[in-house]
């Protein structure tokens, strides 16, 4: 080709690139956090039917709610209407249904409406019962409207629910309501649901369960009379209103929790007598007989005991049949399943150093089903007819989550999802079908209906609209790599500026969490935070995240390395990260910043104080600043009590190192944070003032740990961006 034509083609290519670049849209805080233009669509309201061939779906819009029925094998169109919007009408007003449940015979629906959040998981709601045959819609309880946790009995003839800390049962056949407990009192006695700390740290709010024959209810009773209370001020009126609730901090007294059994036929109550314990984090009934399984933990949470409660006789028989002990702590999860033979259960344990599935008999004999140097994450269920357990794991590496099945004898393992990326599953009754939610770092969630062998039946939602919108922007690829931390190799990702040139030097924005229970390095779609990081790359920043020691899916040794000294090893790993990045030819070593929320806020605060030599800026949102101020179940699990581990609490508190602060620090907190109390920010603020250290601070009135609602997130992230642009 003639050189002249080569030059002309090169010029044309450059023009096309320039035109393409200028044609691409620029991200803004408003597009991400005000207009929520990058929100994903899900596939809500999926519920499999007993026939194993159909499922139902809840459909909500501005005109009301409806439920449609769909075939697994021929899922096309809008589906057949099971209940129309007009049928969900009460006293002339259409209901907006938040959730629903079928009874066992699938001839009635229990509808949850007007849901109002209390804390992270708890709520109140208005409940209705809809008869699918007669098309009659009734309120569950017209006298106790704001109830919670309503659920059908296994035979579908009754509904149990909690209102004002008391347990109620409605007999749908007789149309009669019976109040089971009467001593419920706010900030004193709780029946059938849980206190704040159980909800937050054991992820449990439902404190009751029906027996398989619908004749008994086991429930937990919390006496929180002696638990110290916390107060939250809410602003907006002439005088602030004060919300008071019980919050046991590290080393302080807990609720006294007891287990009870109510016999509906006899109308009597029994107390289940257990040996010495501090917590009862789980209760489950056998699916075929009146045998209840209770789990208890000691205060240090390093001794988990399984109790079998035989309620088949008039006198309860209670026996401990298995205990697991640890030098650190034993995890509580929702992976327990009781087999239909009534003699065995399935559970997960880290006893071998990695989390795996075991079969445990009521005689205390435990056998492994899975094994290997990788962690099981969730147990979804069991198909006993085919002999398979369905579960998720990090077998393909800690940044990936896959769906698998394996036989109960540990053979025939098969992966049911893409090998790389992040998968979640929701199985239908019978375990013959499931909805797969799959994403990776560059792909929003795709929902597919699959059979139990992993074969795709149909596409449910592919977020096509969001994908088309993403094409309007120049986005960079999230690159996964490993970085050499103080204690070994750590998983990390990096996002480089849109116009990255290795000859230039760039500032680095390190996004962290770093604590137990959550990884930031995952090959999954990152939604709004991901788009914010893309915005930073458009502004010329390298964005990095790393999972230090103490995080998940690298085995128990990695996760529990931080025991008794939270913050110490994690900070060492973040400093190692900063050092490694500083040595890269395209990194400006004098411009490395760090940002985190909650535990991440704790780490960014510690980094700018104890690790001030390595970080120019730090942004801390809702940080813990001393573990003495946090709740006891979480804190003592990893640190024991302050009385036992004074140095562990003090040596890694950013409050101790405020005089070291050299760079720019932004402290943000919601004044109504029921989780990490505003006290944390105030105590750190006071220490900084006394040390005569200048910093920036912002408080969000009436906002909880999530700091959201209205224009709040838009304002918050604009502040984070402005601070970064000015100081980093």
pLDDT at position 6 over 60: no
Report the pLDDT value the prediction gives residue 24, as an integer from 0 to 100.
83
pLDDT over 70 (residue 5): no
d(CA 170, CA 141) in angstroms, rounded, equals 8
Tokens standing for residue 46: 């999926």
Q: What is the mean pLDDT of residues 505-512?
A: 98
Q: Is the distance from CB of 345 to CB of 353 less than 8 angstroms?
A: no
Mean pLDDT of 126-148: 97
pLDDT reported for residue 21: 47
The pLDDT mean for the chain works out to 95
Comparing 31-40, 144-153, 270-279, 308-317, the range with the smallest average pLDDT is 308-317
Kindly report the pTM of this predicted structure.
Answer: 0.95
In a domain, 688, yes or no: yes
- Residue 277 domain flag: no
Cβ contact 580:593 at 8 Å: no
Q: Stretch 387-399: mean pLDDT, rounded?
A: 98
How far is 660 from 602, CA to CA, in rounded Å? 16
Q: Phi and psi for 170 in degrees, rounded to 5?
A: -110, 125
C-beta separation of 438 from 415 below 8 A: no
Q: What does the pLDDT average to over 161-187?
A: 98
| Strand segments (E) across 428-519 | 433-440, 443-451, 456-461, 479-485, 488-495, 506-512
Taking 70 as the threshold, does the pLDDT of residue 153 lie above it? yes
Return d(Cα 335, Cα 349) in angstroms, integer: 10
Question: What's the pLDDT at 628?
Answer: 98
Asked if residue 279 is part of any domain, the answer here is no
> For the domain that residue 634 is a member of, what is the CATH number?
3.40.50.1820
Cα dihedral angle (357, 361, 366, 371), rounded to 10 degrees?
-20
pLDDT at 296: 98
| pLDDT of residue 576 exceeding 80 | yes
Decide if pLDDT at 262 tops 80: yes
pLDDT bin (cut points 50, 70, 90) of residue 12 is: very low
In a domain, 490, yes or no: yes
What was the pLDDT predicted at 37? 97
Compute φ and ψ for 685, nearest 5 degrees.
-60, -45
> 632 in a domain, yes or no?
yes
- Residue 44's pLDDT band, with cuts at 50, 70 and 90, is confident
- CA-based nearest residue to 137, from 165, 77, 97, 174: 97
Report yes or no: 278 and 254 within 8 Å, Cβ to Cβ.
Answer: yes
Domain count for the chain, please give it. 1
Q: Which long-range contacts (CB under 8 A, 24 or more apart) does 442-449 make?
A: 442/475, 442/477, 442/478, 442/525, 443/525, 444/40, 444/470, 444/525, 445/40, 445/41, 445/42, 445/525, 447/42, 447/43, 449/72, 449/75
Q: Residue 551 pLDDT more than 70?
A: yes
Q: Which token pair is 246?
A: 């019980």
Upper half-sphere CA count for residue 162 (Cβ side, 13 Å): 27
Which residues, listed in sequence order, are joined to residue 444 by a DSSP beta bridge?
Answer: none
Domain-embedded: residue 428: no
Q: Averaged over 498-512, what is the pLDDT? A: 97
pLDDT at 74: 74
502 within domain boundaries: yes
> Which one-letter DSSP state was computed for residue 315?
S
pLDDT for 596-653, tens place per residue?
999 999 999 999 999 999 999 999 999 999 999 999 999 999 999 999 999 999 999 9
CB neighbours of residue 64 within 10 Å: 18
- The mean pLDDT of 452-477, rounded to a whole number, is 96
Q: Residue 661's domain spans which residues?
A: 24-37+467-727
Strand ranges inside 235-313, DSSP E: 241-246, 256-263, 268-272, 279-285, 291-297, 303-310
- Confidence at residue 315, expressed as pLDDT on a 0 to 100 scale: 83
1 falls in which pLDDT band (50, 70, 90)? very low
For 663-678, the pLDDT digits (tens) are 999 999 999 999 999 9
Query: CB within 8 A of 7, min separation 6: which ones?
Result: none
For 15-29, write each residue's pLDDT tens digit: 334 444 445 899 999
pLDDT of residue 18: 43
- For position 507, what pLDDT does the model report? 98
User: Can you give the pLDDT at residue 15?
Assistant: 38
Of the chain, the percentage scoring pLDDT greater than 70 comes to 96
Residue whose tokens read 């510690």: 606
- 3-state class of 705 per DSSP? coil
Domain presence at residue 338? no
Residue 305 has a CB neighbour count (10 Å cut-off) of 20
- In the predicted model, what is the mean pLDDT of residues 257-281? 97
């Amino acid at each position: 080709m003639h050189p002249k034509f080569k030059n002309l083609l090169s010029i044309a290519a450059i023009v096309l690139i320039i035109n393409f670049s200028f044609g691409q849209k620029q991200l803004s805080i408003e597009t991400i956090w005000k207009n929520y233009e990058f929100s994903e669509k899900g596939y809500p309201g999926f519920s499999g039917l007993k026939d194993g061939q159909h499922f139902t779906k809840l459909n909500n819009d501005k005109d009301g709610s409806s439920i449609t029925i769909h075939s697994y094998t021929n899922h096309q169109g809008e589906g057949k209407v099971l209940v129309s919007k007009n049928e969900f009408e009460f006293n002339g007003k259409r209901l907006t249904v938040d959730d629903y449940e079928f009874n066992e015979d699938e001839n009635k629906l229990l509808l949850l409406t007007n849901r109002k959040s209390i804390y992270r998981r708890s709520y109140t709601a208005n409940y209705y019962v809809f008869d699918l045959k007669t098309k009659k819609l009734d309120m569950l309880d017209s006298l106790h409207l704001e109830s919670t946790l309503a659920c059908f009995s296994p035979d579908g003839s009754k509904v149990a629910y909690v209102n004002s800390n008391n347990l109620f049962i409605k007999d749908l056949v007789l149309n009669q309501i019976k109040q089971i407990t009467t001593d419920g009192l706010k900030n004193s006695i709780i029946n059938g649901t849980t206190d704040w700390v159980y909800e937050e740290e054991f992820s449990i709010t439902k404190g009751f369960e029906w027996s398989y024959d619908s004749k008994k209810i086991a429930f937990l009773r919390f006496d929180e009379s002696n638990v110290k209370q916390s107060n939250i001020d809410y602003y907006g009126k002439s005088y602030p209103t004060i919300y008071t609730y019980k919050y046991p901090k590290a080393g302080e007294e807990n609720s006294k929790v007891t287990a009870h059994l109510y016999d509906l036929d006899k109308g009597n109550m029994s107390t289940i007598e257990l040996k010495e314990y501090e917590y009862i984090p789980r209760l489950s009934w056998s699916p075929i007989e009146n045998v209840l399984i209770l789990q208890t933990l000691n205060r240090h949470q390093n001794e988990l005991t399984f109790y079998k409660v035989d309620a088949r006789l008039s006198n309860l028989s209670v026996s401990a049949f298995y205990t697991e002990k640890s030098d650190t702590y034993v995890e509580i999860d929702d992976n327990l399943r009781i087999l239909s033979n009534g003699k065995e259960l399935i559970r997960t344990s880290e006893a071998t150093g990695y989390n795996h599935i075991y079969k445990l008999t009521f005689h205390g004999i435990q056998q492994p089903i899975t094994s290997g140097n990788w962690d099981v994450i969730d147990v979804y269920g069991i198909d006993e007819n085919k002999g398979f357990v369905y579960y998720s794991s990090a077998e393909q590496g800690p940044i990936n989550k896959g769906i698998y099945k394996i036989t109960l004898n540990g053979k025939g393992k098969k992966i049911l999802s893409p090998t790389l990326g992040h998968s979640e599953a929701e199985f239908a009754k019978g375990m013959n079908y499931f909805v797969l939610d799959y994403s990776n770092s560059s792909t929003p969630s795709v929902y597919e209906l699959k059979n139990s062998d992993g074969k795709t039946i149909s596409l449910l939602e592919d977020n096509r609209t969001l994908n088309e919108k993403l094409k309007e922007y120049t986005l960079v690829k999230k690159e996964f790599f490993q970085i050499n931390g103080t204690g070994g190799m750590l998983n990390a990702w990096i996002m480089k500026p849109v116009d990255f040139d290795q000859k230039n030097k760039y500032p680095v924005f390190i996004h962290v969490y770093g604590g137990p229970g959550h990884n930031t390095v995952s090959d999954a779609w990152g939604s709004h935070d991901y788009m914010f990081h893309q915005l930073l790359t458009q502004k010329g920043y390298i964005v990095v995240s790393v999972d230090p020691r103490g995080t998940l899916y690298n085995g128990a040794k990695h996760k529990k390395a931080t025991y008794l000294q939270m913050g110490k090893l994690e900070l060492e790993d973040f400093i190692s990260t900063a050092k490694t990045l500083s040595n890269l030819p395209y990194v400006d070593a004098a411009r490395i910043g760090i940002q985190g929320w909650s535990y991440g806020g704790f780490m960014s605060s510690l980094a700018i104080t104890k690790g001030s030599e390595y970080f120019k800026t730090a942004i801390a949102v809702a940080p813990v600043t001393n573990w003495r101020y946090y709740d006891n179940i979480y804190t003592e699990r990893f640190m024991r009590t302050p009385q036992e581990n004074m140095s562990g609490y003090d040596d890694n508190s950013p409050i101790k190192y405020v005089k070291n602060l050299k760079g720019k620090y932004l402290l943000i907190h919601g004044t109504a944070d029921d989780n990490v109390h505003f006290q944390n920010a105030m105590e750190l603020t006071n220490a900084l003032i006394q040390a005569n250290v200048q910093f920036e601070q912002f408080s969000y009135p009436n906002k909880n740990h999530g700091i959201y609602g209205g224009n709040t997130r838009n304002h918050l992230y604009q502040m984070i961006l402005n601070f970064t642009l000015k100081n980093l």
